[in-house]
């Protein structure tokens, strides 16, 4: 998707530092953190939300990405969140998993 901010970030358009990168996903810090550590795990392929996801393998990979972020940043305790749909608070319509740790304010 040409007009999607997370497609652009995942494609390296802004030289965003990635905490983890694989052929399937990237992980980078949220621009407006709601916790001491707030990272987003984002598939390189565009899906509007979990509802549009047609590949269950990628879900396992994304959760593996959450674990890798935790290991990389030394997080022992953290929360993972997926917002699906506007009413649930989804603002960016490119599937992503929030990883939050320390003084979590909620997403
Ligand atoms: P959602 O509400 O869709 O579940 O979460 C979207 C998240 O993306 C928000 O926490 C917001 O702060 C973050 N975000 C929005 N635009 C950008 C951006 O351009 N760069 C980064 N790093 N995070 C963003
Ligand atoms: Zn996208």
| pLDDT confidence bin for 107, thresholds 50/70/90 | confident
| pLDDT confidence bin for 95, thresholds 50/70/90 | very high
The Å distance, Cα 47 to ligand 1 centre, comes to 15
Mean pLDDT in residue range 78-103:
98
Mean pLDDT rounded to a whole number for the chain: 97
CB atoms within 10 A of CB 35: 19
Mean pLDDT in residue range 39-51:
98
CB 44 within 8 A of CB 24: yes
Pairing mode, strands 20-21 and 37-43: unpaired
Which ligand does the CA of 33 lie closest to?
A: 1
| pLDDT over 70 at 1, yes or no | no
Q: Is the CB of 83 under 6 A from ligand 1?
A: yes
């Amino acid at each position: 998707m040409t007009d999607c901010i997370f497609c652009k970030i995942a494609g390296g358009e802004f030289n965003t530092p990635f905490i983890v990168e694989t052929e399937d996903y990237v992980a980078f810090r949220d621009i407006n953190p709601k916790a001491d550590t707030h990272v987003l795990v984002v598939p390189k392929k565009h899906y509007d939300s979990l509802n549009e996801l047609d590949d269950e393998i990628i879900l396992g990979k994304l959760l593996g990405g959450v674990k890798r972020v935790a290991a990389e940043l030394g997080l022992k305790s953290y929360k993972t969140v997926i917002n699906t749909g506007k009413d649930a608070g989804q603002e960016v319509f490119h599937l992503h998993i929030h990883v939050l740790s320390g003084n979590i304010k909620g997403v």
